[in-house]
A = this chain, B = another copy of it.
């Protein structure tokens, strides 16, 4: 590894797209400046606002919380116990250690207690791909919690995630998703504002900052995630960056700038869920339907779901 471009110290990372290496100190500065840039460029957050980070125990969300704290935001962590037993416990440990070390207040929310059902229970009663169902549930639950706390919701999605999604949406020509993709979703009735402060940093950069800061994410892998399409999209996103260094950043920022010029609008009229008020294209949102299905299957429902 050559010397840091900005001082004579040993560099810890080689940024191929920028053709420079950076030492630990300058990489940390660069990293935070990219988070800052994302926050201001996409008008994500003000210093006076409270921001909640959904902490899964993985590196991305931990690094998000660290960045926001370091930049002086009023940040709180939330850990959702999705009910994966051993995996959830290990994830909680990682979150707890991290929050204690960096002095970030956090809350543990138990899905079973608060929402009456766990993700494995929902999976057992609904024919859905596990990552898709789980992602949907996490968005639902985190939104409710952010609303309760009157806070903005930050997630750990980074540039490589965003490019995976963008390429996946393009390969499948999913007009609606292409149109909606954004690092910020503004607040509206029943919906908290959602932001992705790491959206201008690649996965490799997040891995490196976690390594430097000795942030210890959960080591176990989710027992349900094997073979997920997300992994394939991510592989493709890596390949793009590998063949065309810098393409991810260019594509993502240009896409956000030009999408209204290139794509026809595709707004979908959303309603409010009749049970919980969450945004949905149907009368009842996914979460409430899945939960009813599980209650029905496990004999807990008084009124059958098809009567609703």
Contact = CB atoms under 8 A, between A and B. Distances in A.
A263 interface: yes
A236 B254 CA distance: 20
A258 interface: yes
A232 to B, nearest CB: 5
Number of copies: 2
A68 to B, nearest CB: 30
A243 interface: yes
Contacts of A263: 262-264
Given A239-B236, A239-B239, A171 B262 contact: no
A305 to B, nearest CB: 35
A240 B236 contact: yes
Contacts of A262: 173, 175, 178, 263-264, 266
Contact of A247 (B171, B175, B235, B254): B171
Nearest to A251: B171
B243 A232 contact: yes
A255 interface: yes
B171 A240 contact: yes
A170 interface: yes
Contacts of A264: 261-264
B247 A243 contact: no
A42 interface: no
Nearest to A231: B243
Contacts of A247: 171
A224 interface: no
Nearest to A257: B173
A244 interface: yes
Interface of A: 170-173, 175, 178, 232, 235-236, 239-240, 243-244, 247, 251, 254-255, 258, 261-264, 266
Q: Which 9 residue pairs are nearest across A and B when measured between Cβ atoms?
A: A239-B239, A175-B262, A232-B243, A173-B254, A171-B251, A173-B258, A264-B264, A236-B243, A170-B170
6 contacts: A171-B240, A171-B244, A173-B255, A178-B262, A262-B264, A263-B264
Given A170-B170, A262-B263, 9 more contacts: A171-B251, A173-B255, A232-B243, A236-B243, A239-B239, A261-B264, A262-B264, A262-B266, A264-B264
